[in-house]
Amino acid sequence: MTTYITTPIYYVNAMPHLGHAYTSIVTDAYSRYRRLCGDEVRFQTGTDEHGEKIFQAAEQEGVSPKEYADRISAAFRQTWPLLGVRPDHFIRTTDPEHIKTVQDILQQVHDRGDIYFSEYSGLYCRGCERFLTAKELVDGNCPDHQQPPTAIAEQNYFFRMSKYQDWLIDHIRNNPEFITPERYRNEVLAFLKAPLEDLCISRPTSRLTWGIPLPFDDKFVTYVWFDALINYLTGIGYPDGPDFDRYWAAAEHVIAKDILKPHAIYWPTMLRAMGLPPYRRLHVHGYWNVDETKMSKSIGNVVRPGELVEQYGVDTVRYFVLREMSFGLDASFSGRALVARRNSDLANDLGNLFSRSLTMIDKYADGIVPEPDAGTMTDADRELIANVERMVGEYRQAMDGFGFNRALQEIWQVIGRLNRFIVTNAPWELARDPAQKGRLMTMLFLLAEGLRLITLVLQPFMPETAAKMAAALGLETELETASLEKAGRWGQMVPGHRISPGAQLFPRLDKKNNQPPQPQQKQKKKEKEAAAEEGLVDFDQFGKLDLRVAEVVAAEKIKKSAKLLKLTLKAPEERTVVAGIGKHYQPEELIGRQVLIVANLKPVKLMGVTSHGMVLAAKEIDADGNEQLVLSTVAGAIAPGSKVA
Ligand code: ME8
């Protein structure tokens, strides 16, 4: 199969923000998913560089429109790799091939009689770069740009859009997948209930020169939308490129609801007038808002994707936007929600499952994916397998229908189940009983196979993480060439290959100050410093203490000291330890007692006696300031020298 999928070509009057990033990430995730399904995929994005608002933005900066467009177009192009977005083609409407194709199409449609010259007056929104109908205004303003449109009356060229209204209504009605989600299909059908007006497709050069000249009248340039939409054709070699027909038959566009009308009404009618079939599907998503308001340059409430990636890492950003927004509905951005998802879904659920599983395979199966012992399979195991297989099916259905957050919910349901599988099977207990070896190996195999499938289905969402997971599971080459058809089935993991534990997928972020993740070395050092400040020791530090049980074989007072006793201890070797317990214990009552000592303290000389360690005791000071001291010991008899852990 072939997939041709596009993002809008973004205006170069503003730097990329999270809204643009979302559309591009969604399109990238879908492209990767289709590749995983074995499709040949063509993913196109680019920049829209003509029109009034670009001209004005350039003027404000005091540079030529082309210079300005070059700069911002480059910023878009450079943003995509940071987000793991990998288009196959980046188109610019200032590309000479595009300009030529637009002129050829205009000439063709003009020759067919679908373009005519006439007088027009209307309300123009520069933000939208289109005429608005009175019905679209809210309190006299454009609802998207919160500014009143300008009344314009002039002579222009018009495209006979009205001629194709009935055809368009039929096409939408007969093809339920043409515009999705359904709410937008309904919105378009509702709009089409009123008679469709013809579309003004030119601007007089007296008012605007920054556009593609009309081939049949050089006193006019092409209206930016008529120019821009055609990018979807020029990018795949219209009219006679070798792959054009194949790609065009598979065309799918991804947009937000702000540009529904040009895509759902202008574009199919333009295609019809050109004698081309309409695109296959239009996927319409909602807005990223900040405090209920659409994120946009004109409002100035934007979140920069590059900064987010720097702070949180690319896959956290991709995961967050794909998980948080239900495709078609609006979503609100908050840094706190992002950190919460990162810590709970990524660090806790996925990260822990992954590192625990690999550590256990390392420890209990010498780092080799073990052969399962079929005889030890339980009904619960079979249910788990059925659940994972069901997830893959649901995932595919969700992805085919742009239900990215649903697909992720399905995956996380399995992650939760595998985490519970570890707890209920308690492999650390199985490992203590040699008779349970077969069961332990079955369990570890099920975990490895579950993780393989999770890696596979996560790949379109989090390519970097999936690559790390695949490498740790020893499946790098498999992942690169995997097709969901085959690799998406349970039981494809080959036992006997080596895994490498130790990869930390998502180090936790500090909730209080949203600290950016540091490279791992620095992170460790930072964590240690923070812990030291709070008086905490980490496990490594604790592990360095040599705590032992010792038996007192001799005890005597040290001259001139009321407090210090010299003890001879067996631990198991004999050693001298000086203890400050003289006010609480008589030497003779200590003989034969078991005490606890720190055996690896540096020797110190106290009142002329060298002490090799320290005796542990508990101390209580009462309200009157009296000190009570009790030696620490163990609750039963044990050989001197036994370790305390
Ligand atoms: O409209 N939330 O370009 P544009 C979600 N050049 N998505 C958002 C968003 C937000 N707050 N803000 C922007 C144009 N987007 C035309 C398109 S196509 C032939 C020509 C995304 O730079 C979303 O995809 O204004 C939206 O449709 C697009 O950016 C608009 O980009």
DSSP label of 435: G
Each residue's pLDDT tens digit, 152-208 = 998 999 999 999 999 999 999 999 999 999 999 999 999 999 999 999 999 999 999
20 is catalytic: yes
With a 6 Å cutoff on the Cβ, whether 11 touches ligand 1 is: yes
Strands 130-132 and 115-125: antiparallel
Region 367-393 average pLDDT: 97
pLDDT band (50, 70, 90) for residue 511? low
| pLDDT score of 544 | 82
Q: 10, 48, 130, 230: which to mutate for ligand 1, most atoms within 8 A of CB?
A: 10
With a 6 Å cutoff on the Cβ, whether 282 touches ligand 1 is: no
| pLDDT score of 503 | 82
With a 6 Å cutoff on the Cβ, whether 49 touches ligand 1 is: no
Most confident stretch, 139-143, 298-302, 452-456: 452-456
* Strand, helix or coil for residue 311: helix
Query: Diameter of the chain by CA atoms?
Result: 119
Please tell me the distance from the alpha carbon of residue 86 to that of residue 459, in angstroms, as a whole number.
Answer: 13
253 pLDDT more than 50: yes
Region 76-80 average pLDDT: 98
* Strand, helix or coil for residue 618: strand
Percent of the chain with pLDDT over 90: 76
**CB contact at 8 A, 22 and 288:** yes
Global pTM exceeds 0.85: no
CA distances from 117 to 163, 272, 291 (A): 16, 20, 45
Each residue's pLDDT tens digit, 120-134 = 888 999 888 888 988
Please tell me the distance from the alpha carbon of residue 131 to that of residue 197, in angstroms, as a whole number.
Answer: 11
Query: Considering Cα of 67, then 93, then 208, then 253, what sign does the dihedral take?
Result: negative
- Answer with the residue of higher pLDDT: 3 or 637: 3
- Of 50, 98, 110, 145, catalytic: 145
7 CA from centroid of ligand 1 (Å) = 9
340 pLDDT more than 90: yes
CB atoms within 10 A of CB 536: 11
DSSP letters, 81-133, are: HHTT---SEEEETTSHHHHHHHHHHHHHHHHTT-EEEEEEEEEEETTTTEEE-
For residue 8, say if its preceding peptide bond is cis, omega within 30 degrees of 0: no
37 is catalytic: no
**CB contact at 8 A, 117 and 163:** no
CA distances from 362 to 279, 303, 351, 359, 441 (A): 51, 42, 16, 5, 12
Region 440-458 average pLDDT: 98
Please tell me the distance from the alpha carbon of residue 46 to that of residue 11, in angstroms, as a whole number.
Answer: 9
117 CA from centroid of ligand 1 (Å) = 30
| pLDDT score of 517 | 34
Each residue's pLDDT tens digit, 411-426 = 999 999 999 999 999 9
| pLDDT score of 410 | 98
With a 6 Å cutoff on the Cβ, whether 457 touches ligand 1 is: no
Question: Can you read off the two tokens belonging to residue 584?
Answer: 């609480």
- Of 37, 50, 110, 128, catalytic: 128
What is the average pLDDT value for the chain, to the nearest integer?
92
| Phi, psi angles (nearest 5°) of residue 75 | -65, -40
12 CA from centroid of ligand 1 (Å) = 11
With a 6 Å cutoff on the Cβ, whether 20 touches ligand 1 is: yes
Tell me how many degrees the CA angle 144-51-216 measures, rounded to the nearest 5: 130
Closest listed residue to residue 267, CA positions, set 126, 172, 151? 172
Region 449-468 average pLDDT: 97
Task: Tell me whether residue 587 is exposed, middle or buried, using C-beta atoms within 10 angstroms of its C-beta: 0 to 12, 13 to 18, 19 or more.
Answer: middle
Crossing angle of helices 314-324 and 463-472, in 10° steps, is 120
Please tell me the distance from the alpha carbon of residue 348 to that of residue 411, in angstroms, as a whole number.
Answer: 14
With a 6 Å cutoff on the Cβ, whether 230 touches ligand 1 is: no
Task: State the amino acid at position 405 in one-letter form.
Answer: N
Tell me how many degrees the CA angle 49-88-31 measures, rounded to the nearest 5: 110
Region 29-48 average pLDDT: 98
Each residue's pLDDT tens digit, 515-570 = 433 323 334 444 455 555 455 666 667 778 899 999 888 889 998 888 999 999 98
